[in-house]
Amino acid sequence: MNSKGGKQKFLWGVSCSPYQHEGGYNGEGQPRNNWYDWEVAGKVEKSGRSVDFWNRYEEDFDRAEMMGLSAYRLGIEWARLQPGGAHTEIQEPVLDRYVDMIQALRARNLEPLVTLSHFTTPRWLGSDPWLKEETPQLFSTFMRQVLEALNRKLVDRGVAPPKWFITLNEPNMLAACTYNVGAFPAGGRSWWAAALVALQTMLEAHVRVKREVHALYAQYPDWGIPMLSFNTFASDLYWMDKMLVDVLEASRQTHGNESIFSYLQDRYRDFTRAYRAMDFPHHGIFSEMVGELIKQIQHALSRRFLHESTFSRLVPLVRERRDEPVVDYISFDYYDPFVGNAVRLPSLADLQLGRVGLREWLTKGLATKWWDWKALPRGLRFFVERYAAEYPDLPILIAENGMAERRCKADEACTMRGDQQIRSFFLRQHVQEVKKLRAEGFPLIGYFHWSLTDNYEWGTYAPRFGLFGVDFDSAELERIPRDNGGDVPWQTYAELVAGES
């Protein structure tokens, strides 16, 4: 087994997720997750093979090793491990494949960062699993069983169990996309009240699974000490991002009838003052005005719907073990954090997306696309500084950061991003910012780029996030080492991390 102890190496990595990369979901005879009905109904593009990471993980790990990376974020999929229902056995061949993956990472000196839930849940859990009070217990109990079985198999092979875990991926984005925006599958309930219920349920699931995993590892001292957190999608909407960590901490810090909401209001005011002092640029006056309006609406909704009873299950659960930290490290994903940039004036470039009429161009053009997201490394610094100031005892990990390009189709003109950025320039900007923050003494422990390859991006293959492109029309799903304009981003990332530790 790998030795333990010594200085924690910095985790330079890439990220992926089961549903977006593995392939083999929601087809005939395949495991079904909560996106199954949308895929079958044609509401979204079928995920199909995706990039076939399930069968081609070793060659992708080889690429990460070639680049000189030190870590790789991957997930284990509940729907694949337990497709038959809550009381069915773990699928042993599936478990063995995840064991193979972690062993393959260890063999290449790549530290695994394991995500336990990346937006998807088994279809048998229903359309609204995070509105159900029983889901946290089901999730935490099952994940303890999986990790015990997985780690035992690893130890039998002489391989060290994973240390780093993300319990739930971007609970703020999952709640918003499901109940505020309607971009993710859901049942009948929607809007702000449902989003808050889902947030409480997911935070409860985090607390429970964190306790289960720590208790499990305590039974096997040779496994080391696990590190668990959840990552949020960094946003200037306090009540749908930073509030998630703060409400857990508020539950620890307050007593009796002390108001949790007052604690959160103080943190909101501090966050807002610090954010405004940074004077961040937006896409323009229109986006800035819309952003301020959205923030004011969200703050009003928070005052309307957010009160002491909102977290009636979560608060007493945290207070049962007040001395335990609610997360072992801070983790967030950094893309475009400014809500105003989610809306823009329609662009003439959108006419090149296909055969769209004027009405469709006007309506769909108001929403920004992945390739419109503003690249601003200074914003990454803002979030690191805020978390470091308020949670000085916790290390910080950037679990995702990346840039999308528009996928070129054979029968359409290929257009650049509006800001004309190439991926290598984006990487240099953001990795250099990470290096500066480390040099200044901020407790950063990892940076993960999304993603090593292109992937299925929640209903579509239109955006390209990969350091390596993928030819989805080829039988071999060929990995392409260059972007459309000839840029070689994987090489740039390799050069940036060379000699770093």
Report yes or no on 3 lying in a domain: no
pLDDT digit string, tens, across residues 358-389: 433 333 444 567 888 889 999 999 999 999 99
**Cis peptide bond N-terminal to 474, omega within 30:** no
Q: What is the pLDDT of residue 141?
A: 98
Instruction: Tell me the residue length of the chain.
Output: 501
The total of structural domains in the chain comes to 1
Check residue 257 and give its pLDDT: 76
Closest C-alpha among 62, 25, 46, 11 to residue 452: 62
Residue 43 lies in a domain: yes
**Residue 341 confidence (pLDDT):** 78
Does residue 4 lie in a domain region?
no
Residues of the chain falling short of pLDDT 50: 1-5, 351-366
- Tell me if 273 is assigned to some domain: yes
3-state secondary structure string across 370-415: HHHCCCCHHHHHHHHHHHHHHCCCCCEEEEEECCCEECCCCCCCCC
Residue 418's CATH number: 3.20.20.80
Range list of β-strands (E), 41-130: 71-75, 111-115
Q: Determine, yes or no, domain membership for 116.
A: yes
For residue 103, what are the domain limits? 11-497
The set of residues, in sequence order, having a beta carbon less than 8 Å from that of 38 and lying 6+ positions away, is 44, 185, 459
For the packed helices 423-439 and 489-497, what is the interaxial angle rounded to 10 degrees?
A: 20
pLDDT at 266: 96
**Which residues contact residue 197 at a Cβ distance below 8 angstroms, ignoring those fewer than 6 apart?**
130, 131
* Residue at 6 is within a domain: no
* 36: Cβ contacts below 8 Å, ≥ 6 apart: 25, 26, 123
pLDDT attached to residue 374 = 87
CA dist list (Å): 359 to 352, 364, 365, 366, 372: 15, 8, 10, 11, 20
pLDDT of residue 1: 43
DSSP for 243-279, written as a single string: HHHHHHHHHHH--TT--HHHHHHHHHHHHHHHHHHH-
Within a domain: 20: yes
Q: Are 413 and 347 in contact (CB under 8 A)?
A: no
Contacts of 328 (CB under 8 A, 6+ apart): 210, 226, 227, 228, 229, 394
Q: Is 459 exposed, middle or buried (0-12, 13-18, 19+ CB in 10 A)?
A: middle
Classify residue 446: in a domain, yes or no.
yes
Residue-level pLDDT at 356: 41
